[in-house]
Amino acid sequence: MKRKLQWFILIGLVSFSFIPSTVSAAETGGSMASRLGAVTLIPPLVAIALAFLTKNVVLSLFLGIFSGTIIAQYAGGANILTGIIFGFTDIIDYILNSLADPWNAGIILQVLVIGGLIALITSSGGARAIAEALAKKAKGPKSTQLITWTLGLLIFFDDYANALIVGPIMRPVSDKMKISRERLAFLIDATAAPIAGIALISTWIGYEVGLINDAYLSIGQEVNAYGVFLQTIPYRFYNILMLFFVVLTSMTLREFGPMKKAQERARDTHQLIAQGATLESEEEELEVVAKGTPSIWSALIPIGALILFSFIGFYTDGRQAILASDNTALIQTVQNAPFSFVTLRETFGASDASVVLFQAALIASIIALVMGVIKGHFSFGKGIDIWVSGMKTLMITGVILLLAWSLSGVMGELGTADYLVSLLSDTLPAFLLPTVIFLLGAVISFATGTSYGTMGILMPLAIPLATAMDPGNADFIVMSAGAVLTGAIFGDHSSPISDTTILSSMGAGSNLLDHVKTQLPYAIAIAVVSVLFGYLPTAFGMNVFIVLPIGFLAVIAVVFLLGKKVDTMQPEHTDK
């Protein structure tokens, strides 16, 4: 291991020596990318490779950022020594800038407060009660996984909320059925961004619709951007097929690759996480201090409040943002029809999800605290201690998120994504464009850990390219737009430095890298099906509603050809 690490560091240092020294420190990421070329890929490669080599995510992300700041310094004219010195100090700037960003700060606060909320619910016995209630419905691994999938669909409005709510609720039931934590993390992750990205109303809508609108305006067309978004949904092959894949593998209990080994380990040794694996969040068994029989209402009411106040917050926050804008037509719509579908769609899209979810989690925490005190489960002071202890368990998750965002900032300065985009050939055949956009989006999103950033980079390129390659074919443009949105989600779903991946593994109580390792073959398999039985046939002119059923059949074939049934329970306890 040490020898591999030494060689990796040596290769990285040698790569630095080929960086042109004529690059100005003031250059943008785009111009930097044109000069640095493949060197801009070093930071994400360092972070990802070291994460798998060392099994230490924090150290790997830190060194990935460090390699990027050294490159930026050296590209600005510094020598190796001063580049290392000032590159180290630059790390602090990136971390501070990441934390100073209101969106990021809101996510950190949201994560911590939901950790405190979960602790209160657990300590009052509510989590145990709801787990026991679900266990009555969950008669075996099949029904447990299907219930998890259903809960994931119900928390459709935000991928972060999905990851943070579903995992803690289903973990006790999943553990009872001896389902590996890696499988639970996959179930959560596969119903987070894939469903939030295509939901008719969610925190993603405003961003996606805005990108589509701007891209069409760039080619001189004014369109109903939300209508175009709706048209892209049938072309979101990865999202749709992944949701189907989860149901199919849950019903058949068929697994393949590392996930099969994880499920067999859980079945044969009852080890829900791999031996020697560490968890990114401290998984402590919180003390249940409730007197008498725990009530499911101690969990349902706070969680229900979290969801209710999230919806209220999305509406009110988005409404304020719209009323403060200069979009006269939209303002009139909001004022004249405050609860119409259009208003709900626009307000949800315009809201600041990070702030809203933090506020909703805080209100839910207060409700859980007051309920615990009134029912005599704990004193007010004890409840505060429990809440703070719950936040502490997720502190390391906040650290990982900050480092992941900082790495993204470094790559933005170097122009990593711009370099990847520049690899797109000008002589590309038209029928390959949606596939190449999908794959390029996946690579950028995987390397940078952000689906939003990838969408923002590719959408302004994809729609003009599609228009130029196949003029007058509106479906081809819509398909290409769908490829951008879907490819970004595929890469983000697979990336070990994606915040949704991090939160999903944390919510499930799984080791992050084990989650990535077991999920990646599944994500790749569905991506391959999406290309071969999705984008290529539709690009040749086949109707998308004929292609989709073929895609479903292809997924069934993959599961039954590659998968083998792994029932984690004894026969007398399995579903019938």
Q: What is the pLDDT of residues 425-472, one digit of tens each?
A: 455 788 888 999 899 889 888 887 778 777 777 787 788 878 877 888
Would you state the structure tokens that stand for residue 221, as one six-digit string? 């067309």
Whether the predicted model's global pTM rises above the 0.75 cut: no
**201 pLDDT above the threshold of 80:** no
> Contact 438/483 with Cβ under 8 angstroms?
yes
Q: Between the CA of residue 305 and those of 167, 275, 312, 348, 459, what are the distances in Å?
A: 18, 38, 10, 18, 36
Instruction: Assign 423 a pLDDT band (cuts: 50, 70, 90).
Output: low
| pLDDT value of position 135 | 66
DSSP state of 574: S
For residues 79-113, one letter each, b for 16 or more C-beta atoms within 10 angstroms of the residue's C-beta and e for the rest, the string is: eeeebbebbeebbeebbeebeeeeebbbbbbbbbb
Q: What is the pLDDT of residues 35-82, one digit of tens each?
A: 777 788 888 888 777 766 776 767 888 888 898 888 888 887 777 788
Q: What is the pLDDT of residues 361-406, one digit of tens each?
A: 899 999 999 988 888 788 888 888 888 888 886 677 678 778 877 8
> 189 or 468, which is more confident?
189
**526 pLDDT above the threshold of 90:** yes
